[in-house]
Amino acid sequence: MKIVEQIKQPIFVEMELFEKKFRESMSSKVALLNRITHYIVNRKGKQMRPMFVFLTAKMVANNNDVNERTYRGASVIELIHTATLVHDDVVDDSNKRRGFFSINALWKNKIAVLVGDYLLSKGLLLSIDNNDFDLLKIISVAVREMSEGELLQIEKARRLDITEDIYYEIIRQKTATLIAACCSLGACSVVPENGELVEKMRKFGELIGMAFQIKDDLFDYTDDAIGKPTGIDIKEQKMTLPLIYALNNCTTKEKNWVINSVKNHNKDKKRVREVIQFVKDKNGLAYAEQKMIQFQQEALLLIQNFPSSPYKDSLILMVNYVIERKK
């Protein structure tokens, strides 16, 4: 059995019902919109985010019971996540998403931006119409942080002067904040009165998100089949942890050569390969891997005292999958 199927096993029924509710939450009176949202729904990925919502909710709930709020929370997360992906493809001028044409490639930028706005408002209204203001707050904070993280990354990429601390801040906001929102939403949907537990699960999600992003950065230096060509981050002048570590542990002359390569020769395949080799030689990959495992271990510590359950087992599998995945 594939590991993702194994993780999904204890919440199979919930995920089936979620799919149905999620499709309904997207519907509109505009035929064009329905055509596009139908296209989006039929090209879904692994659905890690709703899985985090349901597994967390069932692990922390009395009698492991989820409720309508849990389903709405999962739908809101997925609506808003999808909106950000549609907008990202416009920002990055990307024609493909998970091997399929992106919305902007098929329907042009203007429509893609409007569809993203529509999905965002659908998500917000789903919470407001049901008075889920606590869930709405969690998700709104995540959207704000994701935007800030992206902009911080753009600002820093221009000067390539990222310290390790700033890098963690960027990935915390850009990537980890959404997974943190999934886990705190899951907990908040079933035990809204237990603020301490909701915060604990938020932290758990954040740590997994950090490990997840470092794993993504490492793919840039290996030839694994991720569908992301090796060296793409360097070509896009993105400062990732392996590169930051290497730059902090080399001579000024080497540093100038690397920065010049990333800034001015990032389209030169040979130069990009040399930079990748340089990072490997400086133990950048080993260091990033060690940091990734540290985040993963910290996440596991946070849930070790919960009673044993299939949901807890699946969450542990998920945390391990994040750093062991091949793409």
pLDDT tens, residue by residue, 268-316: 888 888 898 999 999 999 999 999 999 999 999 999 999 999 999 999 9
DSSP letters along 282-313, please? TTHHHHHHHHHHHHHHHHHHHHTTSPP-HHHH
Q: What is the pLDDT of residues 203-238, one digit of tens each?
A: 999 999 999 999 988 988 876 544 455 677 777 777
Alpha carbons within 13 angstroms on the beta-carbon side of residue 311 total: 25
Count CB atoms within 10 A of the CB of residue 2. 8
pLDDT at 160: 72
pLDDT at 98: 61
Q: Write down the pTM of the prediction.
A: 0.88
Count CB atoms within 10 A of the CB of residue 99. 7
- Give the closest residue to 146 by CA, choosing from 120, 184, 175: 175
Block residue for tokens 């594939």? 2
Is residue 11 classed as helix, strand or coil in its secondary structure? helix
Higher pLDDT, 96 or 129: 129
Q: Which tokens belong to 41?
A: 């729904």
Mean pLDDT of 20-36: 84
Mean pLDDT of 141-163: 85
Quick one: DSSP state of residue 223?
A: -
Is residue 155 classed as helix, strand or coil in its secondary structure? helix
Q: Indicate the helix (H) or strand (E) that contains 158.
A: helix 133-159
Q: What is the pLDDT of residues 248-260, one digit of tens each?
A: 999 999 998 988 8
pLDDT at 23: 84
Whole-angstrom CA distances from 122 to 98, 140, 218, 259 are: 24, 13, 35, 43
